[in-house]
Amino acid sequence: MTLNQPSDLRQCTEDQLQRVCDETRGFLIDTVSKIGGHLAAGLGTVELTTALHYVFNTPDDRIVWDIGHQAYPHKILTGRRDQLHTIRQAGGLSGFLKRSESEYDTFGAGHSSTSISAALGMAVAAAQQKLDRDVVAIIGDGALTAGMAFEALNNAGDMDANVLVILNDNDMSISPNVGALKNYLTKLMTGPTVSTVRRTTKKALDGIPPVRDYARRWEEHIKGMILPSTFFEEMGFYYAGPIDGHDIDTLVTTLRNLKEIDGPRFLHIVTKKGKGFEPAEDSPIKYHGVSPFNPTTGEFGKKTKVRTYTDVFSDWLCDMAAVDDKLIGITPAMREGSGLVRFSEEYPERYFDVAIAEQHALTFAAGMACDGQKPVVAIYSTFLQRAYDQLIHDVSVQDLDVMLAIDRAGLVGADGATHAGVFDYSYLRCIPGCAIYAPSNESECRDMLYSAYKHVGLTAVRYPRGAGIGALEKPAMHEIPMGKGEVIQNGQNVAILSFGTLLPAALEAANVLGATVVNMRFVKPLDGDLINQMAASHDLLVTLEENVIAGGAGSGVNEYLAAAGIATPTLNLGLPDRYIDHGSQTALLSECGLDAGGIAASILASPFYQPALNDVKKRV
């Protein structure tokens, strides 16, 4: 069965839908097994995706997915089946939702917990334009832990918006096992007869408040015996569920019934991550994001273990915890990604996963710091953006002793623009008292983690995704003097001031140019004495960073030179003023001119002090 668009799907009979689900699941497993990507979450939403596109008139009706891990089946059923093999590759499909990719991707989703807010906005827009349009938001039980999701629920229930929220509970963290009885009851409770009776009775009893209130309490009592808490109804939603999210017949019937009800509605479904692929069902975390694997056995190809910056942080955290019982490890739902698995096992009483709640994570850390603990918040650069007010107001303004271990800094490759950590130098540099460490390799990263931890105040150590150059770590941790860089290689005419892990590329470019290379090590505070020295002895200063140029480390050098009245020309090299799409990290750096060849070419093309570079141009 080949379905290219949801309109094709809606030509199927209901009896054919299970076959559609089976074929979609098989195609997803086969494709991802060859190219890698996100798997377990998508396997859990096959039936839901099929039912949604079958019942609702997409793309005119809006389906808003929360993040994109679960949306691979959505891509398959919305005209992108033949392109799925390109997902997360340069020039291919995005691994997340992307409005420019398809009219069915109604809202771009890279970070979680945004779907209800976006769907509510769409529902209100439809009402303003007097359009007869259904709007559906799908959110996971993990994403529902975020404050933003509850803000949206509160707002939606209060304004009586015509929106359907579907809770995809794939960890059974809210409800017990469900079965045929609960499916039947939900069909009954959402059916046209019961719905009509409820609406008619409500109108009839509105004029008799005591009887109306008694009837409402009676209904809640009855539902409370057979269904979960009425929490969502208290927020203003018509609640239905929980139902089996893999029962396509029940899903279709329930969605059709809910479609006929106006106002805010809430459907709770229970699904299983990795559904239909036993290895993924048994280990959903392992099969969340995968490299190519054997689709029959689930076995991955043997790979040489490469030591990553995340591994460096993981080991350092445990080593530091062994000598300081004040250390606390905090993560907003990224235990595996941020390298806290070992710490959570060895120091469970000092490990806190606060769920998808970055704002809470920072203020929680601030509270601990107020009373003498030393919190280390392990967080992705792109997720730290979500807690910016807390970083300033709750940590920095109060001058609290909090350390940020910022993973996934710079370009992140296949995850693309939504996950790239390319703004942190800029948004951290303007915060008073925030010390920003920029390690150039793994060994220096370990020393900087130790140095930042020893410093009293707000500190941030920023390191990239993946492995570095394989620099051996020192057996002990060494404290690096605050705000002090180092000259790595002496040259003439040009001095490259390198911030972070682009140092190897800077050295390679410098070997062509005969340039000086400085490992600045700190974005803030800057080493003013070293900048003075380089400006006095070179015709051109070049700043190099894997961050946007606007407001970044190079801007800091420019500001320093201007304030000191130093007129040495400066060339700022960094990421361009646009979002960088997905692809390999190496290819993306080359595209942005931040590989050795691109760095050398930019310097040679600089309008500053060209006569001094003529001899270099002749050599190259």
Place of tokens 């960073």: 545
Q: What percent of the chain has pLDDT above 90?
A: 66
The closest alpha carbon to 164, from 17, 273, 249, 61, belongs to: 61
Give the strand order in the sheet containing 135-140: 62-65, 135-140, 164-169, 265-270, 238-244
In the structure encoding, which two tokens stand for residue 168, read together? 């995809």
The closest alpha carbon to 328, from 352, 357, 361, 363, belongs to: 352
The closest alpha carbon to 93, from 416, 332, 346, belongs to: 416
pLDDT at 471: 75
pTM: 0.84
Place of tokens 């689900």: 21
pLDDT digits (tens, 9 = 90+) for 584-600: 889 999 999 999 999 99
In the structure encoding, which two tokens stand for residue 366, read together? 């601030």
The Cα–Cα gap between 198 and 602 comes to 71
pLDDT over threshold 50, residue 447? yes
pLDDT at 525: 98
612 by Cβ neighbours in 10 Å (0-12 / 13-18 / 19+) ranks as: middle
577 by Cβ neighbours in 10 Å (0-12 / 13-18 / 19+) ranks as: exposed
pLDDT at 174: 32
pLDDT over threshold 70, residue 183? no
291-315 burial, b if ≥16 CB within 10 A, otherwise e? eebebeebebeeeeeeebbbebbbb
pLDDT digits (tens, 9 = 90+) for 556-586: 999 999 999 999 999 999 999 999 988 888 9
Amino acid in position 538: H
- Which of 92-96, 209-213, 277-281 has the least mean pLDDT? 209-213
pLDDT digits (tens, 9 = 90+) for 86-97: 988 888 888 888
pLDDT band at 217 (very low <50, low <70, confident <90, very high): low
pLDDT over threshold 70, residue 362? yes
pLDDT at 147: 84
pLDDT band at 610 (very low <50, low <70, confident <90, very high): low
In the structure encoding, which two tokens stand for residue 592, read together? 């942005």
Give Cα separations from 456 to 163, 369, 390, 492, 613 (angstroms): 48, 11, 18, 38, 45
In the structure encoding, which two tokens stand for residue 457, read together? 């105040």
In the structure encoding, which two tokens stand for residue 252, read together? 């279709």
pLDDT over threshold 50, residue 226? no
pLDDT band at 177 (very low <50, low <70, confident <90, very high): very low
- Average pLDDT (449-459) is 97
* Coil, strand or helix at 543: strand
378 versus 210: which is more confidently predicted? 378
pLDDT at 619: 47
470 versus 269: which is more confidently predicted? 269
407 versus 198: which is more confidently predicted? 407
pLDDT at 193: 52
pLDDT band at 203 (very low <50, low <70, confident <90, very high): low
377, 405 contact by CB (below 8 A): yes
Residues annotated catalytic, as ranges: 273, 358, 386
pLDDT at 419: 87
* Coil, strand or helix at 600: helix
pLDDT band at 241 (very low <50, low <70, confident <90, very high): confident
Cis before 525 (ω within 30): yes
pLDDT at 263: 93
